[in-house]
Structure 1
């Protein structure tokens, strides 16, 4: 299982992206919530609202997820892949039913 932590500007963006990911079976579940973001920009400290979208999915879907996001926003945002060490069996069963497990291709060296 993979989790993606994605920052966005609005709840509407998170909703549209979530629906697209779910419709395309690129995610089993998404969550979004407001946070406050503080960062340095051009020598100043900026503080502003932001939305975090968490996407729960299988390994191997990062490129497809990023493609969906780019269809909905045109600004630079964070897309961070998080590893989950342990997930309850019931959730994994649901994930495996809803989002196909991608088969990883090996190169000619066998890596």
Structure 2
């Protein structure tokens, strides 16, 4: 069960998170405000961003990654994958039920 780490500008993050859940690419997306310092085009920048932590499945990861890349306003979006090998089994089961086409709501 991968968790996908994405950074996005605050004006794009809410819609991106909601789209991933509505399209069942993620069971849940946590939004965390942060300040980022990074190098781009030879300069150091400081910007407010949001960290999106999207919970998805092994089978759903590629579609989620592709959709984030399609919707994201950055030329090179940060999309990193973390595998939750030791996730609580009940949580992993909920993620499975909450993603994928034709899945039930997943809240039972």
Instruction: Give me the TM-score of the superposition, normalised by structure 1.
Output: 0.76
Q: CA RMSD in A?
A: 1.8
Whole-Å separation in 2 of the counterparts to 1:45 and 1:23: 35
Per-residue deviation, residues 36-73 of structure 1 (Å, max 9, x unmatched): 11122344322221111110010132331133224433
User: Partner of 2:36 in structure 1?
Assistant: 37
User: Partner of 1:93 in structure 2?
Assistant: 93
| 2:68 pairs with 1:59 | no
Distance apart, 1:85 and its partner CA = 2.6
Whole-Å separation in 2 of the counterparts to 1:20 and 1:42: 30
Q: Which runs of 5 or more residues in structure 2 are unaligned?
A: 101-108
Partner secondary structure for residue 66 of structure 1: helix
Compared CA separation, residues 8 and 45, structure 1 to 2 (3 A): same
Contact 1:16 1:72 in 2 (8 A): no
Number of aligned residues: 99
Instruction: Give me the TM-score of the superposition, normalised by structure 2.
Output: 0.77
Q: Which has the larger radius of gyration?
A: 1
Whole-Å separation in 1 of the counterparts to 2:14 and 2:56: 17
Q: Which runs of 5 or more residues in structure 1 are unaligned?
A: 101-111
User: Partner of 1:84 in structure 2?
Assistant: 84
